[in-house]
Amino acid sequence: MVFSKTAGYHHASIPAGIAAIQKLGAENNFETDTTTDASLFTKKNLKKYAAVIFLNTTGDVLNQEQQTAFEKYIRSGKGFLGVHAATDTEYDWPWYNQLVGAYFKSHPKQQHAELTIVDATHASTKHLPATWKRFDEWYNFKSMQPGLQVLIKIDEKSYSGGENGEFHPMAWYHEFDGGRAFYTEFGHTDESYSDPLYLKHLLGGIQYVISK
């Protein structure tokens, strides 16, 4: 289930992201439902899905009851994947901070930067060049959680406005509270969703969170 409700900034690239994930599903044998309706976060409805993708969600998108249903869903062994602004979501829900791995702090202007692959063995990174140059909106993070398996970091010397220092993670995964979680910072721009390298990265993340 692709969830793209926004209670803050609304990314214009959300439709492109939805279409790209639907296409990945059609080509790789997984079905995709898409929604902005938080009332679908019930035990009964979530049970249908192997994973939930927060695609550029922002702000406070789930109420207390929906949060509880989602926590139980992850604890039942299911998957979560966060794209870009998924870290700009649910700042008053500590469990979600642990799940997604960090919170958005700030970003400089969109620009080119160099990314370094930290772990090239994961399905989401094994196809990527050791130094990946791309254009996007680069987040600085706060409330970075311990125990994340970092896949990609950004070289702050390659662009202006980085605030996380020499080790600035941009994509990671971990097992959390019985389930699996994956986050990728990339995906602000429309162009991301037609970039073969990015799409294969996203697919690898999806395959990780839906695998048993």
**89 CB-near residues (< 8 Å, 6+ apart):** 54, 57, 58, 59, 60, 61, 82, 96, 100
Q: What percent of the chain has pLDDT over 90?
A: 99
Give the dihedral sign, CA 131/86/207/118: positive
The pLDDT value recorded for residue 71 is 98
Average confidence (pLDDT) over 47-76: 98
Average pLDDT of the chain, as a whole number? 98
Beta pairing class for 79-83 and 179-184: parallel
Give 93-146 pLDDT, tens digit per residue.
999 999 999 999 999 999 999 999 999 999 999 999 999 999 999 999 999 999
User: How much is the pTM?
Assistant: 0.98
Helix (H) / strand (E) element for 150: namely strand 149-154
212 pLDDT exceeds 80? no
> How would residue 203 be classed by pLDDT, with cut points 50, 70 and 90?
very high
